Chains A and B, each alone.
Chain A
Amino acid sequence: MLIPMSEPYLKVKKLTHAYGRAALFSAVTFDLAPGFILQVTGKNGSGKTTLLQLLSGIKIPQDGSIHLREDITCAYVGHKNAVKAELSPLENLALYQPDAKSCAQALEALGLEKSHHRRPCYRLSAGQQRKVALSRLILSDAKVWLLDEPFTALDDTAKAHVIKQLESHAQNGGSAIVATHERLDLGKTILKEMVMS
């Protein structure tokens, strides 16, 4: 079946979810087209994390539908890094990409120097571990990136690296949904904003 290249990656219709008794959000509807970055903002507790968890498949929505284009996969980086402290960054990434050179390149693209590549992650700072988590994105061939507060613990240089990666991802036809309060200066990349309340 031929899928037109411009067909949205993600179609979300009337997504509704509640936590306990409190409704988090209701009837959220949007499409995510290739090359678009959607920034999601809102107060703490407004449901940004839950939205991303629903979109990535970690949770199942109580109502509404999420349709991911058949040929597309998502990559998800949540609040927590999903990094194993006893293993080194390269060993952690080897799970996703057996080629060590690509892993090293991904780590460097995010600003993690070579000297840290083989140290166990408990030796790295929180920001450095975050870089390891974010490197996963570069290694995956997922077209949709779902990022929950990706800039936590990152300094300005690191933030710039991440934004650069987002830009090139979008230029290659990828999309992303980023939950963050930071300003995203993405140059030519189309940035839409959605506020959760």
Chain B
Amino acid sequence: MIRRFASPKVFYQLAGKLMPWCGWAFALFGIAGLYWGLAIAPTDAVQGEAYRIIYVHVPAAWMSMMIYGVMTGCAIATLVWRTKVAEYWLLASPVLGASFTFLALVTGSLWGKPMWGTWWAWDARLTSELILLFIYLAILAMKGAIPDQRKAARVMAMLTIVGSVNLPIIKFSVDWWTTLHQPASIFRAGGPSIAPMMLTALLLMALSYTFYYFWLVLRNIRVLIERKDK
């Protein structure tokens, strides 16, 4: 069955049918998540109202990593089986991954300002996120430099896989470095413990973002398939 969906033609139809559902799911979960996060979830004992930006920030950070994981899967399929749909998926994803990473960084920065009075801190999480953004940008740069799409996908695939092996090492090394040089991270997910209400809001937003990603990636893949057929 997977073989069938690996064909661009079949996938094109399937994507077309799924897209509206994803779009609506994104909107509904988004509204629910924002409402929950802004109105229902309790005020944080330590951080007050300003903490609410984590409902945008944390799911964005999750997405930045999830998309990279999806890209790694596509990369393996591209290199090992040369699956066309995997190639398209790989070509269509990095810009979305980079956007979520950027969003995570900006909202992390916005959170940091009321917290520590500074727009940026070389905290382990933010630093790792920044390096992830650099890796996404490198992948996008490679994509832009290679005119032949299939070759571009294969080159990006290799880069993605090497990056995915490196990312745990990068996180580890940044953690290592910041424990040597900086006080313990004050960048905790949402306070000393995450109240269940907060978790719900985070999950709702995460679902919303996930559907947003699928909505756009399916659209991008369809555009790539259309362009190929012309």
Using a CB–CB cutoff of 8 Å, the interface residues on chain A facing chain B are 19-21
> Could you pull out 5 A-B pairs where Cβ atoms are within 8 angstroms?
A19-B148, A20-B147, A20-B148, A20-B149, A21-B228
A21 to B147, CA, bound (A): 12
The 0/1 profile, CB within 8 Å of A marked 1, for residues 13-26 of chain B is: 00000000000000
How many residues of B are in contact with the other chain, CB < 8 A?
4
Q: List chain A residues, Cβ under 8 A from B147.
A: 20
Q: List chain A residues, Cβ under 8 A from B149.
A: 20
Using a CB–CB cutoff of 8 Å, the interface residues on chain B facing chain A are 147-149, 228
A40 to B88, CA, bound (A): 36
Q: List chain B residues, Cβ under 8 A from A19.
A: 148
Shortest beta-carbon distance, B221 to chain A, in Å? 17
Q: List chain B residues, Cβ under 8 A from A20.
A: 147-149
Q: List chain A residues, Cβ under 8 A from B228.
A: 21
Q: List chain B residues, Cβ under 8 A from A21.
A: 228
Shortest beta-carbon distance, A62 to chain B, in Å? 9
What residue in chain A is nearest B229 (Cβ atoms)? A21
Shortest beta-carbon distance, A54 to chain B, in Å? 15
What residue in chain A is nearest B147 (Cβ atoms)? A20
A61 to B202, CA, bound (A): 48
A19 to B148, CA, bound (A): 8
Shortest beta-carbon distance, A94 to chain B, in Å? 34
Shortest beta-carbon distance, A24 to chain B, in Å? 13
A19 to B228, CA, bound (A): 13
Shortest beta-carbon distance, A150 to chain B, in Å? 28
5 A-B pairs closest in CB distance: A20-B148, A21-B228, A19-B148, A20-B147, A20-B149
Shortest beta-carbon distance, B150 to chain A, in Å? 8
A21 to B227, CA, bound (A): 10
A90 to B80, CA, bound (A): 42
A50 to B139, CA, bound (A): 28
Shortest beta-carbon distance, B151 to chain A, in Å? 9
A19 to B149, CA, bound (A): 10
Shortest beta-carbon distance, B230 to chain A, in Å? 8
What residue in chain B is nearest A18 (Cβ atoms)? B150
Shortest beta-carbon distance, B7 to chain A, in Å? 15
A10 to B148, CA, bound (A): 30
Shortest beta-carbon distance, A16 to chain B, in Å? 14
A19 to B151, CA, bound (A): 10
A20 to B149, CA, bound (A): 7
Shortest beta-carbon distance, B143 to chain A, in Å? 15
What residue in chain B is nearest A21 (Cβ atoms)? B228
